[in-house]
A and B are shown apart, each in its own frame.
Chain A
Amino acid sequence: DVKVTQSSRYLVKRTGEKVFLECVQDMDHENMFWYRQDPGLGLRLIYFSYDVKMKEKGDIPEGYSVSREKKERFSLILESASTNQTSMYLCASSFWGVEANQPQHFGDGTRLSIL
């Protein structure tokens, strides 16, 4: 069974702090994704990565950066946390497929509160 593990279920940080959210998958997936989930807005893609050291902006990358130094690990970084980044953050991974139809597997999420 695919396992996507996010380092924290709950996290509380202060405005202006640099915040790191970590995600590890154990299925040798090429693709990894970071989303934020907000009520009434569904999931919105922040960043994704198709391979080590590769990253692509999603729909809402402002205020975030990512790092993928190893295939199994994908980190989301809030450079200077702000209250509007309070949200549930979801990590996902999938195989790369020629027709891009591989389903994504999700972690349990990190509920981040910025005070």
Chain B
Amino acid sequence: AQSVSQHNHHVILSEAASLELGCNYSYGGTVNLFWYVQYPGQHLQLLLKYFSGDPLVKGIKGFEAEFIKSKFSFNLRKPSVQWSDTAEYFCAVNANNQGGKLIFGQGTELSVKP
């Protein structure tokens, strides 16, 4: 069965620190990849997505992610975090033969200290 694994359950950083959140998936075919963010008290919203082409994708608020097919990974990065980035981050994978279904990782809670 397909699965998505986020290695870090809770990450605590100081403002201006660099961020990298890991995401690995298990599926050998063509995939679409997503990162969603859930700010405290708000609904999940799309941060960025990868469908094809350049494996380095840029999203909103200075986030980017790199798809490394050989490693089945789609790690999220940001060079310098802000207090307002405090949120829970979810990686999700959709396989092209699975319709619109998404498989989500367990989530990573990011706390940024001012």
Contacts and interface: CB of A to CB of B under 8 A. Distances in A.
Interface of A: 4, 31, 33, 35, 40-45, 48, 50, 58, 90, 92, 94, 96-97, 99-109
A105 B43 CA distance: 9
B65 to A, nearest CB: 14
Contact of B43 (A96, A100, A108): A108
A50 B104 contact: no
Interface string B17-36: 00000000000000010101
Contact of B105 (A31, A42, A92, A107): A42
B11 interface: no
A86 B24 CA distance: 29
21 contacts: A31-B100, A33-B100, A33-B102, A40-B9, A41-B106, A42-B4, A42-B90, A42-B105, A42-B106, A43-B92, A43-B107, A48-B100, A90-B43, A90-B44, A100-B94, A100-B95, A100-B98, A100-B100, A104-B46, A106-B36, A109-B43
Interface in B71-106: 90, 92, 94-96, 98-106
A92 B94 CA distance: 15
Contact of A96 (B42, B100, B104): B100
Contacts of B4: 42
A33 B102 CA distance: 10
Contacts of A101: 32, 49, 51, 94, 96
